[in-house]
Amino acid sequence: MRAAAVQFNASEDTPRNLRTADRLVREAADRGATLVLLPEKFNCIGTAEVMLAHAELLDGPTITWARGIARDLGIELVAGSITERIAGRQRAHNTSVLIGGDGEIRAAYRKIHLFDVEVGGLAYRESATEDPGNEVVVADLADGTCVGLTICYDLRFPELFRLLALRGARVLTVPAAFTLATTRDHWEVLLRARAIEDQCFVVASNQIGSYGPGRETGGRSMIIDPWGVVLATAGDADGVIVADLDLDRQDVIRAELPSLANRRPSAYAWPDPVRT
């Protein structure tokens, strides 16, 4: 399987963002990719208020575009994430959608871990306008390969990634808008750790560049194998990276170093109360 990660600098301008996404997804397909990942909030990124104002239902223009291009190109497309409107409420979800080569939605994952942090002197409060999801989501591609869906800040929660692996995921997708500071210091370390500990391929698409005063993302999208080897990495500009995912090699790694099989769930217990 050949996978691609698309990276670009999105903005508040949805039509412009979709034109860019369309061009880069077509480039990925031209380079032989059959699984393509877009970044987090690829159709519109800005302040929380702007993203809420541009929130869409899953039958809105963005996912309609995504379904159309997946069908036209015969690829499986992870539509990074969009701000999904919650019908009847002034709230939203941060939602990643897996679309099959027939243009049909195969799965939708709503981000479980909301980005309520302070980084580089800036406060981010996703929970001000968004509700967390509560479902761990895996789905099979047309060839039977199981994919686990995550979004951005989820990367810091190894419990989620382990559950995805235990539910059969062989490829983990991470659409992101990682900040510049955390991209430089944490991004590669976390991505490689998730790949190694869960013996999965990790395909990660990050945004690149500024999307408002003081708000800057770090790029360096990556594709990593189950041994933790970086197969492809993007620079600091719009573009596409591709890599071949050798599932037979993954089987060998899991057989020779069977860390998933050697787990001892009966010995694991969460402390009560949990210290934080």
Query: Cα torsion at 221, 191, 48, 213 (round to 10°)?
Result: -60
What pLDDT digit, counting tens, does each position of 76-94 carry? 999 999 999 998 899 999 9
d(CA 23, CA 211): 20
Are the CB atoms for 259 and 16 separated by under 8 Å?
no
Q: Which CATH number covers residue 166?
A: 3.60.110.10
- Cβ burial of 15 (10 Å; 0-12, 13-18, 19+) is exposed
Counted domains in the chain: 1
Q: Is residue 30 part of a domain?
A: yes
What pLDDT digit, counting tens, does each position of 215-264 carry? 999 999 999 999 999 999 999 999 999 999 999 999 999 999 999 999 99
Active-site residue, 41 included: no
Among 41, 44, 111, 130, the one annotated catalytic: 111
Among 56, 76, 152, 216, the one annotated catalytic: 152
Q: What is the pLDDT of residue 122?
A: 85
Q: Is residue 268 part of a domain?
A: no
State the chain's maximal CA–CA distance in angstroms: 53
d(CA 139, CA 152): 19
Structural domain of 11? 2-254
Active-site residue, 118 included: no
**Quick one: which of 101, 114, 24, 99 has its CA closest to 63?**
99
Among 40, 56, 84, 130, the one annotated catalytic: 40
Structure tokens given for 84: 């999904």
Active-site residue, 111 included: yes
Q: Indicate the pairing of strand 171-176 with strand 146-149.
A: parallel
Rounded mean pLDDT, 12-32: 98
What pLDDT digit, counting tens, does each position of 103-134 carry? 999 999 999 999 999 988 888 999 999 999 99
Q: Is residue 269 part of a domain?
A: no
Q: What is the pLDDT of residue 213?
A: 83
Q: Is residue 274 part of a domain?
A: no
Q: 3-class SS at 81?
A: strand
Q: Is residue 263 part of a domain?
A: no
Are the CB atoms for 5 and 243 separated by under 8 Å?
no
Single pTM value for the model = 0.97
